[in-house]
Structure 1
Amino acid sequence: MSFSATLRDVTLKYRDGDALSDVNLELEADKIYGLLGRNGAGKTSLLSLLAAFRKPTSGEVLIDGQPVWENAAIVSRVALIREGGDFDDSDTVKAAIETGQIRPGFDTAYALKLAERFELPLKKKVRELSRGKRSVLAAVCGLAARAELTMFDEVHLGMDAPTRDAFYKELLAEYMERPHTVILSTHLIDEVANYLEEVVIVDRGRILRHEELEVLQDMGATLTGPAAAVDEAAAGLEILAEQQLGGTKSVTVAAFAPGTRERAASAGLEIGPVGLQDLFIHLTDPSRNGARR
């Protein structure tokens, strides 16, 4: 059993304005989603609604077709893991893990196995952990929750690159073994791109894009080859990024039309997908029409 998630005409107001405004979003079950947005775009607010940490000002938030607010049966099967986790700082790491047993699906044995793998000091107090180790503890508890909907909100912050890579691989392995719905909110966009099936881009409280990863990446292309040939193929196109090493040049362009693709291919250029991070920066650029910051 896995959970789908639905937001219908959802607005969330704070005293200083709208965190989310007229949001409509449908997330199917059994997929890994990337939730992207600039700082203050509304990502954490959206996740908080799905976890029933907040009640929408207006609209409906549904999990598995049921209202999530004050629905204990649903909320117990949803996990929102935030940076640093929600722990009692006076607990030991082992006690913090064992507290997860209040969730019906929490797998303590799996959590302790992960704790050993990620070298978490079980006897240390949570408050004595480094930022990176505390992030690891939160990630471990999120994986072991075995929730039908698991959301990680910047949980990787503080982890070094090898630890993040191990976390992503463990997340994918756990997902393959037990299909469920996963949402990853992150600023490390290209780092997680290969693990995502669909991408949701939030911009100033609204859903700017919700697409399959491949559809987004097909919006542009990266052209690589002799500098002169690349420049000719990219002439007149919107350039998102470029780099050159000797006589070889690589340019990432937006709005890559089929005819242009054919000309680039006939010129012998290598054509690759656009980087998700480059595309995200382009789509949320406040200077673009319709983009907000």
Structure 2
Amino acid sequence: MRVDVRGLSVRYGSVVAVDDMSFSLSGNKIYGLLGRNGSGKTSLMSALAGYRKPLGAVTLDGAPVFENADAMRQVCLVRHTADAADKGDKVSYVLEYGAAWRETWDNSYALSLIDLFRIPLKSKVSALSLGQRSALGVVIGLASRSPLTMLDESHLGMDTPTRYAFYDTLLNDFMAHPRTIIISTHLIEELSSLLEEVVIIDSGRLVLQEEADVLRSRGTEVTGNAGDVDEFTAGLTVLSEKSLGRTKAAMVYGALDDSRLIRARQLGLELGPIALQDLFVHLTEPVGGKL
């Protein structure tokens, strides 16, 4: 499912959560929606799901999503555990609702996920632990098999082993049933290997949209003698620096041409990759982080 956003703004009274944002997602990829707290991620995903009338345009495969029942049936947004179901309902009822609401629902897959995440079918949602409620939200999102599936921090209540089981399951199911999946997360490094493309937003505005591998290739950590590092990084965009005695490490943003790489070898500098999470942190710095 292709997603097109044009001039989108979301306001809550005098607060602007999304500010004149435009981008397109070509579809059949796993996208990472990254942003600091309060950056507008949840408001953006709500607009993509058709939960609010957009100021601007949001279209899915060319059709507006707001007040469009056909388009909205193709979308599943799992925002947080409280959205999973009425807390007085049994887990088994939640799966029945999923089957009733979604033509693409795969109930056998839902039951296999319930077993994987050890969620008791006969228990009420209110009796589940935080991790189990988070896992139930993930079950709804994945088993919906919706052409546009959005998971808004829905995995954060899980413990580490369960999160890793979720990542494996997500990738395997995406490979078998390609669709457009958008994941909002703060656990960037845990999910980084899954993300094909990232959209970074800050203060309601688009910072960048880039393929994950291309973005990683633009960041380099340069380590060596402090004077040599300073010479090498002159004229480059330096994200951060740290020194220990005569040794210095600098994070730089931007592609390094052949002449730079040759000079690095001449100076005896070590060049290494920067983690996607580190790039995100520096690209969303309150001051001077935008590139």
Q: Deviations over 1:112-148 (max 9, x none)?
A: 1111011111111101111111000100111100100
SS of the residue aligned with 1:195? Answer: coil
State the distance in 1 between where 2:66 and 2:287 align: 37
Q: What letter matches 2:7 in structure 1?
A: D
Provide closer, same or farther for how the CA distance between residues 206 and 266 of structure 1 changes in structure 2, counting only shifts above 3 A.
Answer: same
State the distance in 2 between where 1:235 and 1:133 align: 53
Q: CA offset at residue 242 of structure 1? A: 5.7
Q: CA offset at residue 215 of structure 1? A: 2.2
State the distance in 2 between where 1:278 and 1:205 align: 21
- 1:92-111, aligned counterparts within 5 Å? 92-101=90-99, 102-111=101-110
Q: CA offset at residue 235 of structure 1? A: 5.2
Give me the TM-score of the superposition, normalised by structure 1. 0.89
State the distance in 1 between where 2:177 and 2:156 align: 25
Q: CA offset at residue 198 of structure 1? A: 0.8
- 1:92-241, aligned counterparts within 5 Å? 92-101=90-99, 102-223=101-222, 227-228=224-225, 232-233=228-229, 237=233, 238-240=238-240
State the distance in 2 between where 1:234 and 1:192 align: 33
8 Å Cα contact 1:240/1:279 also seen in 2: no
8 Å Cα contact 1:4/1:63 also seen in 2: yes
The aligned counterpart of 2:59 is 62
Which of the numbers 31, 39, 42 marks the counterpart of 2:40? 42
Q: CA offset at residue 231 of structure 1? A: 6.8
Which has the larger displacement, 164-173 or 82-91? 82-91
Provide closer, same or farther for how the CA distance between residues 70 and 243 of structure 1 changes in structure 2, counting only shifts above 3 A.
Answer: farther
8 Å Cα contact 2:197/2:211 also seen in 1: yes
Which has the larger displacement, 26-35 or 232-241? 232-241
Provide closer, same or farther for how the CA distance between residues 45 and 119 of structure 1 changes in structure 2, counting only shifts above 3 A.
Answer: same
Q: Deviations over 1:266-285 (max 9, x none)?
A: 55655332211111111111
Q: CA offset at residue 241 of structure 1? A: 6.5
Q: CA offset at residue 189 of structure 1? A: 1.0
8 Å Cα contact 2:35/2:201 also seen in 1: yes
Q: Deviations over 1:82-114 (max 9, x none)?
A: 120330111111211221012111111110111
State the distance in 2 between where 1:268 and 1:121 align: 59
Q: What letter matches 1:233 in structure 2?
A: V
Which has the larger displacement, 81-90 or 174-183? 81-90
8 Å Cα contact 1:222/1:252 also seen in 2: yes
Q: Deviations over 1:25-75 (max 9, x none)?
A: 10001111110011111111110011011111x211101110001111111
Give ranges in structure 2 of 5+ residues lacking alignment.
Answer: none
Q: What letter matches 2:57 in structure 1?
A: E
Percent identical residues: 45
Give ranges in structure 1 of 5+ residues lacking alignment.
Answer: none
SS of the residue aligned with 1:122? Answer: coil
State the distance in 2 between where 1:139 and 1:242 align: 40
The aligned counterpart of 2:16 is 18
Q: What letter matches 1:283 in structure 2?
A: L
Q: CA offset at residue 254 of structure 1? A: 3.0
Which of the numbers 52, 68, 71 marks the counterpart of 1:74? 71
8 Å Cα contact 1:240/1:254 also seen in 2: no
Give me the TM-score of the superposition, normalised by structure 2. 0.89
Q: What letter matches 1:232 in structure 2?
A: D
How many positions carry a matched residue from both structures? 284
